[in-house]
Structure formats: C-alpha cells, structure tokens
Amino acid sequence: MGEGIGDYTKYITDLRRHMWIDGVETELRRLIWQIAVTGKYISAKIHESNRKLAGFQNIYGEEQLSLDRSADEILKNQLQYSGFVRDYSSEEQDTIVRIGQGNEKYYVTADPLDGSSLVDTNLAIGTIIGIHKESMMAEGRRSMVAALYITYGPLITMVYSAGKGAHEFVLNREGEYVLSQENITLEERGSIYSLGGLRKDWTEGHRRYVEHLEEAGYKLRYSGGFVPDINQILIKRGGIFTYPALKKSPRGKLRLLFELQPMAFIFEQAGGMATDGREPILALRVEDLDQRCPIYIGSRYEVEKAGEFLKDHP
Ligand code: FDP
C-alpha cells in the first residue's frame, strides 16, 4: 500500500486533521476549530468562578448569571477575531449582532452556556453552536451547514457535524481534541428516555406516549441539562429526549434557533430524527430569536411513535 490518504486516515486523531480529511471547506474548518478552542476558555471561566465562589452560597445566583454573560463575551470576541463570521446571535443577546464587515461567509448562533443553573450542583453543562450559510431567520434545513456542542463534564467533549456524519472528540491533557467516536450512528430504537416538563402539565397525547415508553421498559435518564441529556442519547446510540408542549406553554420551553436546530442537525447526521411532534425541527422557519418549540429527538422509532400518539390525541 502506498502513502495515500486511505493509509493516513487511520492515524488521524486531531480535530483539524479530521476535518481536513473529511473535506470540510477551509473557512468552515477554521471556524469550527476556533469555536472548539473557545470551549477551553469557557471551561477555564467555569473553573475560575467556582474557585472564587466556594463557600459563598448567597451570591452564587448572581455569579451564574455573569458566567452566562462571560461565556457569551468570550465566544463573541473569538468569533469576531476569526474573520469568518458576519452575524452572531445568542441567547444572551436581544438582537442579531453584526460582528463582521458584512462580506463574511457564516452566521453563527450560540447558547454559550446552557444549563448554567446546574453549575452549583456540579452536573454537566454545555455550549451549543449552529453555523449557517445565510441568515439564520430561515428553515434550518436551508441555512445550516454545521453544528456542534461542547459538554463540560468530568471530561470535556465536543461533537460536531459539518454535514458528513457526527463525530465526537475528547479534550486531552495536552489541550488537543482527540477523536473518540467517528460517524456516530443511532440504532433504530433505544432504551432510555429523558423528559422535561412537569407531568401535571403534559397533554393527553404526550402522557399516553410516555406511558407507552414506560410499559415497554424504557429507563429514565434525566439530569435537567439539555446538553448532557442530549449527549447521553447520542452516545448511548438511541432513545428519546423530549421537552414537550405543555398545557400552560404550548410552545414548550427550549429555543428553536439556539438549542433545537443545532441538535437536530447533529441527530439527523447520526441517523436519528428531531421533530416538534409533527414537523421536522429543521423544516420549521425561525420567525423570532426567542421562538420556543416542543421537541422529540432521538432514534427513529421513538420519535415516530411520539408523532403517532400526538396525532391521535393532539
Ligand atoms: P436551565 O433552565 O437550567 O438553564 O434551556 C435551559 C434548560 O436548563 C435546559 O438545559 C434544560 O433541558 C431545561 O432548561 C430544563 O428546564 P426546566 O427545569 O425548567 O424544566
């Protein structure tokens, strides 16, 4: 065998090389790399604030808020320096922010620090990113070119997809993202379920769906952090995460643009599905930055089954 790319790939562990071999376009590659590196700075900020605050429970709430904002600032600045991003929108900003000159290729959405209310419990939290090739106020299927999320847990892991499968990397002690799982593929059907919202607020269709899962022996696995809960479904190769429409909030809780679209992009790339109970998440048009949406995301069987129950009992 010669020294072709086929031989070379088996030695690939580093994120940059992986994206290069995967044929990810140069600027997109650099942008994803830049965001992954920014995850290290955000992680340092999380650690810094925890050290500073140990023992000061009374001011902890305030600091959590500033942690969200710090993560947002770090991300926005890094993206601005990258030179590849025209517009930035995040859960921490009221409007879309022009951070480029106006001729850059990409538009980035961010939930800089999802689940920050879990910091004091030492559960995992995360950063969620969507990368669009045109204005993000569109259907995800049309505008998205890549998505990634970083999980800050006992390990820092990053899952990205640039439209050619979903891949997981682990940050090692040398500060490199090392490939841990390539082309993650969900099974047709899983065995865990992860449910947001209070049972008393569920709709009839959703209640019946959950009872169906319980009768079938699904195990409950829910931390209350969207990133680790979703990550669990992906890494365990299936099951269902849902934050449904509730009687008092028919649009559910989670945000379409910042939280749901990026995860839907990654799950579809892993052979899974993501719907609002009817339509694919990526077919929904974003009309408003704060738009909420119910979500059923996971392996095919469970997502389709949810659709059947919700059709019969809307
Ligand atoms: P949090 O409010 O704790 O920041 O979107 C934020 C989020 O967490 C998700 O991470 C999580 O899935 C969901 O909200 C949990 O919401 P509730 O505890 O209000 O049901």
Mean pLDDT, rounded, for 277-299: 97
Q: Is residue 116 part of a domain?
A: yes
- C-alpha dist (Å) from residue 259 to 7, 90, 106: 38, 10, 18
Domain span holding position 209: 192-312
Burial of residue 2, with CB atoms counted within 10 A of its CB: 0-12 exposed, 13-18 middle, 19 or more buried: exposed
Q: Report percent pLDDT > 90 for the chain.
A: 82
Among 162, 181, 200, give the residue marking a domain's end. 181
Q: Which has the closest alpha carbon to 265: 180, 158, 139?
A: 139
Average pLDDT in the chain: 91
Q: Are residues 106 and 228 in the same domain?
A: no
pLDDT at 279 > cutoff 90:
yes
Q: Are residues 89 and 139 in the same domain?
A: yes
| Residue 158 DSSP symbol | E
Terminal CA-CA length for the chain: 59
The band of 12, judged by pLDDT with boundaries at 50, 70 and 90, is low
Q: Are residues 66 and 91 in the same domain?
A: yes
Q: Are residues 71 and 168 in the same domain?
A: yes
Q: Are residues 51 and 154 in the same domain?
A: yes
* Ligand 1 mean position, distance from CA 223 (Å): 10
* Ligand 1 mean position, distance from CA 83 (Å): 32
Q: Are residues 174 and 34 in the same domain?
A: yes
Q: Which has the closest alpha carbon to 107: 115, 117, 96, 91?
A: 96
Q: Which amino acid is at 255?
A: R
Q: Is residue 186 part of a domain?
A: no
Q: Which has the closest alpha carbon to 126: 148, 93, 144?
A: 148
Among 151, 243, 256, 260, which residue has the most ligand 1 atoms within 8 Å of its CB, making it the best to mutate?
243
Q: Residue 243: which H helix or E strand, with range?
A: strand 240-243
pTM: 0.92
Nearest CA to ligand 1 atom 6: 115
- C-alpha dist (Å) from residue 251 to 179, 197, 226, 255, 296: 37, 12, 17, 9, 13
Q: Report percent pLDDT > 70 for the chain.
A: 91
Q: Which atom of ligand 1 is nearest to the CA of 196?
A: 20
The pLDDT tens digits of the residues spanning 24-45 come to 999 999 999 999 999 999 999 9
Which is more confidently placed, 293 or 61? 293
Q: Is residue 44 part of a domain?
A: yes
Q: Are residues 114 and 234 in the same domain?
A: no
Residues 84, 105: contact at Cβ < 8 Å? yes
Q: Given this model, what pLDDT does residue 51 score? A: 52
The pLDDT tens digits of the residues spanning 54-102 come to 444 434 344 444 788 899 999 999 999 999 999 999 999 999 999 999 9
Q: Are residues 37 and 136 in the same domain?
A: yes
Among 181, 205, 220, give the residue marking a domain's end. 181
Q: Which atom of ligand 1 is nearest to the CA of 229?
A: 12
pLDDT at 314 > cutoff 60:
yes
Q: Which has the closest alpha carbon to 218: 243, 236, 204?
A: 236
Distance CA 16, CA 251 (A): 38
Q: Which atom of ligand 1 is nearest to the CA of 125?
A: 10
Q: Is residue 15 part of a domain?
A: yes
* Ligand 1 mean position, distance from CA 97 (Å): 25
Residues 107, 135: contact at Cβ < 8 Å? yes
Q: Are residues 198 and 162 in the same domain?
A: no
Report the CATH number that the domain containing residue 65 is assigned in CATH. Answer: 3.30.540.10
* Ligand 1 mean position, distance from CA 224 (Å): 6
Q: Is residue 169 part of a domain?
A: yes
- Cβ neighbors of 263 (< 8 A, separation 6 or more) are 128, 147, 149, 226, 230, 274, 297
253 lines ligand 1 (CB under 6 A): yes
Residue 43 structure tokens: 């992680």
The band of 50, judged by pLDDT with boundaries at 50, 70 and 90, is low
116 lines ligand 1 (CB under 6 A): yes
Q: Given this model, what pLDDT does residue 217 score? A: 98
Torsion of CA 31, 66, 257, 157, to 10 degrees: 50
Q: Given this model, what pLDDT does residue 145 score? A: 98
195 lines ligand 1 (CB under 6 A): no
pLDDT at 10 > cutoff 80:
no
Report the CATH number that the domain containing residue 248 is assigned in CATH. Answer: 3.40.190.80
Distance CA 52, CA 39 (A): 20
Q: Is residue 47 part of a domain?
A: yes
Q: Are residues 13 and 147 in the same domain?
A: yes
Mean pLDDT, rounded, for 240-254: 96
Q: Are residues 239 and 207 in the same domain?
A: yes
Q: Which amino acid is at 46?
A: I
Among 181, 206, 232, give the residue marking a domain's end. 181
Residue 56 structure tokens: 């000061």
Counting the structural domains of the chain, the total is 2
Q: Are residues 157 and 89 in the same domain?
A: yes
* Ligand 1 mean position, distance from CA 276 (Å): 17
Write out 194-242 in H/E/C secondary structure.
Answer: EECCCHHHECHHHHHHHHHHHHCCCEECCCCCHHHHHHHHHHCCCCEEE
- Cβ neighbors of 179 (< 8 A, separation 6 or more) are 12, 13, 14, 15, 18, 167, 168, 169
* Ligand 1 mean position, distance from CA 167 (Å): 25
